[in-house]
């Protein structure tokens, strides 16, 4: 295995943090960033929030200093893509609720995306929207109902 420095360090400048981060306890003692090793919450791959990435995140992008990474780079990009797709579904829904509420393909694709997103983020699950979609799908697809005779249209 190639030799690597044990700790990768980058000098920190908390005066460049967001206002909120500057008020945190960490602002008084943080003088440098060191690589943070973690396991991706989605795929379990080992990942590194590098010292340089931390400097960029906290000082340039003004991310909250308490923010920690949960996903590896690949999964993080995938989760951003999912979030963008879900936003599109939300916009379409707001624009044409009436026609979409009986659109089985639209509804099931949306529900599938929401479920997929849950495997990437351990918080902010949109349970209200999911139950609404399940309800509408039951109405849109009466043939799939477990009880009652099946009718052919
Ligand atoms: Zn991952």
Rounded distance from Cα 46 to ligand 1 centre (Å): 8
Name residues with Cβ closer than 5 Å to ligand 1, which is an ion.
Answer: 40, 42-43, 45, 72, 75
Residue 109 CB partners (closer than 8 Å, separation 6+): 89
Please give the Cα distance from 56 to 60 (Å, whole number): 5
Last residue of a domain, one of 24, 39, 60: 60
C-alpha count within 13 angstroms, C-beta hemisphere, residue 46: 3
CA distance 141 to 106: 12
Query: How close is the Cα of 47 to the center of ligand 1, in Å?
Result: 8
Domain check: are 24 and 82 in the same one? no
Quick one: 90 and 43 in the same domain?
Answer: no
Same domain, 56 and 79: no
What is the per-residue pLDDT across 130-151, written as a single tens digit (0 to 9) for each? 999 999 999 887 665 555 444 4
Say if residue 125's pLDDT is above 90.
no
For 20, the enclosing helix (H) or strand (E) is helix 19-22
Domain that holds residue 42: 9-60
**pLDDT (mean) for 37-45:** 95
Distance 31 CA to ligand 1 centre (A): 29
Q: What is the pLDDT of residues 78-116, one digit of tens each?
A: 999 999 999 999 999 999 999 999 999 999 999 999 999
pLDDT at 117: 92
Beta strands in the chain (DSSP E): 9-11, 32-34, 36-39, 46-49
For residue 150, what pLDDT is reported? Answer: 47
Give the Å distance between the CA of 83 and the centre of ligand 1: 16
Q: How many domains does the chain have?
A: 2
> What pLDDT is stored for residue 152 in this prediction?
46
Residue 63 CA to ligand 1 center (angstroms) comes to 21
Residue bearing the bigger pLDDT, 68 or 48: 48
- Distance of CA 36 from the midpoint of ligand 1 (Å): 15
User: Domain check: are 45 and 99 in the same one?
Assistant: no
Percent of the chain with pLDDT strictly greater than 90: 77
Let me know if 110 is exposed, middle or buried by CB neighbors in 10 A (0-12, 13-18, 19+): buried
């Amino acid at each position: 295995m190639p030799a690597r420095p044990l700790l990768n360090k980058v000098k920190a400048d908390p005066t460049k943090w967001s206002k909120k981060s500057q008020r945190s306890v960490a602002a008084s003692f943080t003088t440098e960033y060191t690589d943070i090793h973690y396991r991706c919450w989605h795929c379990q791959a080992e990942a590194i929030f590098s010292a340089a990435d931390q400097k960029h995140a906290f000082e340039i992008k003004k991310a909250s200093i308490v923010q920690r990474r949960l996903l590896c780079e690949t999964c993080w990009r995938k989760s951003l893509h999912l979030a963008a797709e879900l936003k599109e579904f939300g916009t379409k829904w707001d624009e044409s609720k009436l026609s979409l509420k009986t659109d089985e393909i639209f509804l099931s694709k949306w529900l599938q995306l929401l479920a997929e997103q849950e495997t990437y983020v351990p918080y902010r699950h949109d349970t209200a929207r999911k139950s609404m979609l399940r309800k509408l799908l039951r109405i849109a697809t009466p043939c799939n109902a477990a009880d009652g005779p099946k009718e052919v249209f």
